[in-house]
């Protein structure tokens, strides 16, 4: 169960019929959740128009090739120019937010420099933008069956193909996605 009813460190899985096409079949890792609201990163949407090398160039980060091929994810519709690295907790800076025993979040240029020279965290997911909810907004969406939550799973977050994250996380909960429907009936 989430501590104090909050979902920090959990995965949110969008349900069919949630009503917001930006989150269709989305998996969101919740980084913070409290009475003021929530913030998370969509972990199963990659940007197809921006590479890690292009991002480093845009930020004037000078790196010696070869630059690792790191996918850049669309973390959500809020502040899409702002970058975040969700990563294993083996890499911590002063500005790192420790989310769980195994997962942390850093939003500095220094972590990008470390990733560029293969000295960053063991596991990582780079995202631009984030998903954000105001006070009580996420709670209402959960009550309206827009989302279901499950435990954060390092394997799903960092080591599963983006197209498999949503069905795999659903299957971990015992849900057969072929049985889900966007509509409900009445008896």
**Structural domain includes residue 117:** yes
Residue 82 resides in a domain = yes
Chain CA centroid to CA 112, Å: 17
Residues 37 and 130: beta-carbon distance below 8 Å: no
Give per-residue pLDDT as tens, 100-130: 999 999 999 999 999 999 899 999 999 999 9
Mean pLDDT score of the chain: 90
Tell me what pLDDT residue 181 has: 57
Of all helices (H) and strands (E), which one includes residue 113? Answer: helix 109-116
Token pair recorded at residue 182: 């966007």
Q: What is the DSSP letter of 160?
A: S
Residue 186 lies in a domain: no
Q: Is residue 60 part of a domain?
A: yes
Question: For the residues 42-55, what does the mean pLDDT come to?
Answer: 95
Domain range for 73: 3-175
Q: Is residue 181 part of a domain?
A: no
Q: Mean pLDDT, to the nearest integer, of 70-99? A: 96
Residue 185 pLDDT > 80: no
Please tell me whether residue 39 adopts helix, strand or coil conformation: strand
Return the higher-pLDDT residue of 48 and 18: 48
Residues 8-18: pLDDT tens digits? Answer: 999 999 998 78
Residue 19: per-residue pLDDT: 79
Label residue 96 by pLDDT band (50, 70, 90): very high
In a domain, 180, yes or no: no
Q: What is the CA radius of gyration of the chain?
A: 17
For residue 36, tell me if it sits in a domain. yes
**Res 138 pLDDT > 70:** yes
What is the dihedral sign for C-alpha 98, 102, 81, 167?
A: negative
Number of structural domains (the chain) is 1
pLDDT tens figures, 25-37: 999 999 999 999 9
Question: Given this model, what pLDDT does residue 2 score?
Answer: 42
Question: Residue 83 in contact with residue 55, Cβ under 8 Å?
Answer: yes
Bridge partners, 104 (sequence order)? 87, 98
What's the CATH code of the domain at 96? Answer: 3.40.1740.10
For position 21, what pLDDT does the model report?
Answer: 87
Check pLDDT > 60 for residue 76.
yes
Q: Which residues contact 93 (CB under 8 A, 6 or more apart)?
A: 106, 108, 110, 111
């Amino acid at each position: 169960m989430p501590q104090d009813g909050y979902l920090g460190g959990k995965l949110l899985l969008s349900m069919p019929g949630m009503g917001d096409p930006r989150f269709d079949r989305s998996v969101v890792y919740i980084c913070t959740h409290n009475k003021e609201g929530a913030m998370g990163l969509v972990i199963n949407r990659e940007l197809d128009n921006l590479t890690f090398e292009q991002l480093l160039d845009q930020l004037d980060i000078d790196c010696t090739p070869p630059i690792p091929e790191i996918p850049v994810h669309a973390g959500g519709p809020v502040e899409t120019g702002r970058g975040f690295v969700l990563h294993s907790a083996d890499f911590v800076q002063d500005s790192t937010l420790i989310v769980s025993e195994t997962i942390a979040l850093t939003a500095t240029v220094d972590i990008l420099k470390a990733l560029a020279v293969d000295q960053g965290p063991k596991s990582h997911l780079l995202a631009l933008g984030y998903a954000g909810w105001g006070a009580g907004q996420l709670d209402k969406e959960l009550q309206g069956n827009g989302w279901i939550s499950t435990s954060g799973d390092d394997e799903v977050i960092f080591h599963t193909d983006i197209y498999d994250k949503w069905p795999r996380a659903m299957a971990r909960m015992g849900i057969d996605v072929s049985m889900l429907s966007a509509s409900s009936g009445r008896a």
